[in-house]
Amino acid sequence: MLVIVAPGQGAQTPGFLTPWLEDPDFRARFEWLSTVAGLDLVHYGTNADADQIRATEIAQPLLVATGLVAALGLFPHPTDAFGKVGAVAGHSVGELGAAAGARVISAEQAMVLVRERGRAMAEAAAVTPTGMTAILGGDRDAVLAALDKHGLTAANDNGPGQIVAAGTMEQLAALASDPPEKARLMPLSVAGAFHTDHMAPAVGHLGALARSVSVHDPRTRVISNRDGRVVHSGQEVLKRIVGQIASPVRWDLCMDTMSDLGITGFLEMPPAGTLTGIAKRALRGVETFALKTPDQLEDARAFCDKHGEFSELDTTPTWRMVVSPAKGTFHIAEEAYAASALAAGAAIGDVAGRQDRIVVITDHGGQVVEWLVENGDLVSPGQPLVRLHPEGGF
């Protein structure tokens, strides 16, 4: 199984776009997305220095546009991707690129949203001096206890040995003077405490805009930063992307879900490297590919062919499926099992996993065509549970 991921802010480096823009098709598409965003992203990806592209309102659109256009190089016929890609995920702002890749939103919608996301987060960061510090190594429980002691948030939980703390500069200074045992602290050059309550104003702004965005249900599994769950509702994908601005990135749980899915191939879109490095440590036995330059595209396509498989999420518009959000044991709700039709928002049962029980809700109503699992069956993330025929069509 192939998973494609998109990196988050901090992956960009000065001039990283230069080789990509030598291709006239890439350049034309990139200039179009730059126009949509209202930014000269060609300049920022080629001639701007590190300080310029570090700015939140620049870095975020630059990253999303790069991933979207590179995806067209990887899959010249976009529909081919849905027969190969088992799941997509994005780290932080990368979730917008992943959502567009799964056809939840269009590339143009993604660029408008990321432009507004970057601006709103930059404005929120300017209110109070805040920052972020990476904590490398140390005992996980001791690290989390230290963050709690100083009132900090684990804004990014990237797996074993890598947690990013966020909060006020005073809180970060207190952590630096009293670090967790056997841990190394590395202050990050970012504009503020992303993925914390300090970003709440940005959530409100983007949430108001998102209410006018038309969405579609994903064409492949989307793994959410919030809790690593597979999301199969377009509305829920967008809702989570908005809320995630002020909530921690649980990349560790995303990788747990990838492992549960049984992935064999992990491909990171440009500017690649950060997530691939994490995957090499956390996803043992999984082959990785960091797509950094266009001369790698042929090898990247071969990688996709090697690990790709036909997705079980059939998109024929004659029925819808309710899928499992996580790995665990599925328990069917008796009233749902006995019903011939289910209303939108009906609970069909729950999935009991390692830590909790997740209630499974139908995003769309319809006639029950068939149950695809039995009570007590073990299920995997994204596995179809029940097939519905929508009442009144689509």
Domains and CATH numbers, the chain: 2-124+197-307 (3.40.366.10), 127-188 (3.30.70.250), 320-389 (2.40.50.100)
Cα torsion angle, 167, 168, 171, 177, sign: positive
Identify which of 374, 7, 380, 74 has the alpha carbon closest to the alpha carbon of residue 229: 380
Query: Residue with structure tokens 């050059």?
Result: 189
Residues whose CB falls within 8 Å of the CB of residue 370, separated by 6 or more in sequence, listed in order: 386, 387
pLDDT tens-digit readout, 114-148: 999 999 999 999 999 999 999 999 999 999 999 99
Query: Which one of 34, 91, 92, 324 is the catalytic residue?
Result: 92
pLDDT recorded at residue 311: 54
Helices (H), the chain: 24-37, 41-46, 50-54, 56-74, 94-101, 107-125, 140-149, 169-177, 200-210, 234-243, 251-261, 274-282, 297-307, 334-338
- How many residues appear in the chain? 394
Question: What torsion, rounded to 10 degrees, do the Cα atoms 76, 381, 231, 354 define?
Answer: -140
pLDDT tens-digit readout, 44-91: 999 999 999 999 999 999 999 999 999 999 998 877 787 899 999 999
What mean pLDDT comes out for the span 2-12?
95
Residues whose CB falls within 8 Å of the CB of residue 89, separated by 6 or more in sequence, listed in order: 3, 5, 6, 95, 98, 222, 223, 224, 225, 254, 258
Q: Annotated catalytic, 198? A: no
Asked if pLDDT for residue 181 goes beyond 80, the answer is yes
pLDDT recorded at residue 364: 84
Asked if pLDDT for residue 200 goes beyond 90, the answer is yes
pLDDT tens-digit readout, 214-240: 999 998 999 999 999 999 899 999 999
pLDDT tens-digit readout, 307-356: 998 654 544 445 788 999 999 999 999 999 999 999 999 999 999 988 78
Query: Residue with structure tokens 């009570």?
Result: 375
Q: Annotated catalytic, 259? A: no
Query: Which one of 91, 150, 195, 205 is the catalytic residue?
Result: 195
How far is 56 from 294, CA to CA, in rounded Å?
26
Identify which of 350, 346, 386 has the alpha carbon closest to the alpha carbon of residue 363: 346
